[in-house]
């Protein structure tokens, strides 16, 4: 009985350790900067500054008379 309990305990500890290790590896893989990440980020940054992207903002210069109107 004690041997079974011991085995269960060891398996549980091993399972948790393996899970943690796997999680850590996956997390680090996701955070690893890929060779194309810089290119992708820069492209998104430049696209967000394009006249097309800015067109959504500038015409909305409505100068509302009621600043509390948050609709």
Residues touching another protein, count (CB under 8 A): 21
In the three-class reduction of DSSP (H, G, I as helix; E, B as strand; rest coil), residue 49 is classed as: coil
Closest among 46, 42, 23, 22 to 33, alpha carbons compared: 42
| From 6-14, 16-24, 26-34, 47-55, span contacting another protein (CB under 8 A) | 47-55
N residues, the chain:
71
Q: Is 39 in the site for another protein (CB under 8 A)?
A: no
Closest distance between another protein and the C-beta of residue 4, in Å? 53
Q: Is 45 in the site for another protein (CB under 8 A)?
A: yes
């Amino acid at each position: 009985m004690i041997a079974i309990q011991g085995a269960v305990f060891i398996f549980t500890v091993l399972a948790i350790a393996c899970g943690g290790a796997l999680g850590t590896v996956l997390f680090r893989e996701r955070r690893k900067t890929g060779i194309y990440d810089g290119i992708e980020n820069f492209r998104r940054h430049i696209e967000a500054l394009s006249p097309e992207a800015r067109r959504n903002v500038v015409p909305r210069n409505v100068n509302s008379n009621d600043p509390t109107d948050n609709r």
